[in-house]
Amino acid sequence: MASYETPRVDVNANGWGPTVLPEQFLNVPYAPFNKGDKLGKAADFVSNYAPRGSRYARDPSGVNAEFQYKHDSKEDATFQLVDTSKGTRPKTEDRLRPTWNQQRFGGRGGRGGRGGRGSYGDKPDPNGPTTSSAQLRMKGMQKQNKRWDRLSNARRALTFRRRDEVHVDRVASVMVQASWNLVDQFEMQQLTKLQANIPKSEDLKWCGELREFDASFDRITSRSNTRVHRYDDRDFYYVTTTDDPIIEDLAQQGEATVFATDAILAHLMACTRSVFPWDIVAQRVNNMVFFDKRDESNFDLLTVNENASDPPNQEDPEHMNHPDRLSLEATMINQNLSQQVLKTANGAFYKKFDEPNPFASEDAKPASGAYRYRKFDLGGGLNLVARCEVQGVALKKGKQQYVSTFALNEYDPKFPGSIEWRKKIDSQVRLRRFCRNVYAWCIFVCMWVAMCAGLDECSHCIYAIPTLLVRKKHGMKVCYM
């Protein structure tokens, strides 16, 4: 006869219910899928049900509410779907109706009001008797209607301009390959928040010559007509860092660890204002770094209206207002101006340094100017040698001040939205602010070039063309800002 074994029962001396669960039932989650399941403890004498009187009906599931799943209808009632459908816009007879200021004809019964004289609805009868007051009222209404039409057309033009705004996709100067390894990158917000102070510097060498700056150019206005001459017989040099023989000698002497030019440093410092693509080549030789520009690039050409809301059109490469042609024109203007503002007569200040122009040959005629090689202490054992350019010397109160001149050129005064510089330069401050905003990139580059060269004075000029026919001859009026 089979024997019956009594199962093991755990006794809970401190309360009721089992004390130990079987291992196969440990950590088993439970989520009821049917609201009709009344699953819970067999008997629950721990949770107390507090009646609320006759204010609410008795909830029979209140005892086991802590252990059961309940559907919250109040929470589901707050759930709403977002309507993403596009609503229809009500049709109005006149979307460009006049504002309150434009329909200011007076109040009820007053002048121009409803029931008053000259109201908008009470138009004079053209077949009726004409009086002087009726004629004046008719002329006033016609003038007001013309004003409304002009405002409406301007508003429509502005709307179309925003809708049809052309976004030009700039082509990168260097195509990034997928095999390249990313070493580091800088965000635009980080670059815009950076601040730099000019460190301590010393002059290592001067090359070239310096002539006196003609102070009469500071007194030029739009009424005084001064044309810019061309200096085709002068040679201008734009030599990169590693091709400079002076920098090569300084590198062999161990004067610094970083070498660059003032133009390259200015591009780096003003990179947040740039719109056109450009790149710089960094070469490391032993423990030294050389910053160079790329061969056959437009790095040294100045830009025109680069930061303007309506930049020059890039569709027709043969057009005279193409960005490439404008850059070449602006570069030639600045070259000619740098020579015209210098005195060449006898008795003017002239200083020739021991070292001649390092890039000119014996039979060449280099443009007047000097190269200043400066050494900057960047801290942390880093020294920078930069080749800086100085155009002339101004004599003020018996002191010599280094000067360089930069120009902003007008390329199309008939362009929609533009201002004719010759007529507005002396009377409108708005034009000066406009030039600063349009040429923000160029002005920032010129500012950093001047700071690197240690200039005492930096003159900015405005070129206003008399007519488009003489534009190729560079017969332009000069006005200093």
Q: What would the pLDDT profile of 219-254 be if each residue is shown by its tens digit?
A: 777 777 677 888 888 999 999 999 999 999 999 999
Q: Is 219 helix (H, G, I), strand (E, B) or coil?
A: helix
User: In this predicted model, what pLDDT tens digit does every residue of 192-206 receive, in sequence order?
Assistant: 888 777 788 899 999
Q: What is the mean pLDDT of residues 201-219?
A: 89
Q: Which is more confidently placed, 82 or 64?
A: 82
The pLDDT value given to residue 130: 55
Q: Report yes or no: 19 and 53 within 8 Å, Cβ to Cβ.
A: no
Quote the tokens at residue 258. Answer: 């970083």
Q: Which is more confidently placed, 167 or 307?
A: 307
The pLDDT value given to residue 324: 84
47 pLDDT higher than 70: no
264 pLDDT higher than 80: yes
Quote the tokens at residue 380. Answer: 């942390």
Residue-averaged pLDDT of the chain: 73
Distance CA 381, CA 383 (A): 7
- Mean pLDDT check: name the lowest of 82-96, 103-117, 148-162, 300-314: 103-117
User: In this predicted model, what pLDDT tens digit does every residue of 418-459 receive, in sequence order?
Assistant: 667 776 666 655 555 555 555 555 666 777 788 888 888 877
pTM reported for the whole predicted model: 0.61
The pLDDT value given to residue 417: 62
The pLDDT value given to residue 249: 94
- Mean pLDDT check: name the lowest of 26-40, 240-254, 402-416: 26-40
Distance CA 291, CA 286 (A): 14
170 pLDDT higher than 90: no
Cα dihedral across residues 105, 111, 116, 117: positive or negative: negative
Residues 6+ apart with CB under 8 A from 265: 291, 386, 448, 452
Q: Which helix (H) or strand (E) holds 460?
A: strand 457-464
477 pLDDT higher than 50: no
Q: How far apart are the first and last CA of the chain?
A: 121
108 pLDDT higher than 60: no
Q: Which helix (H) or strand (E) holds 329?
A: helix 323-340
The pLDDT value given to residue 387: 94
Q: What is the mean pLDDT of residues 51-74?
A: 53
Residues 6+ apart with CB under 8 A from 451: 198
User: In this predicted model, what pLDDT tens digit does every residue of 312-343 receive, in sequence order?
Assistant: 777 777 777 788 888 888 888 889 888 988 98
Percent of the chain with pLDDT over 90: 18
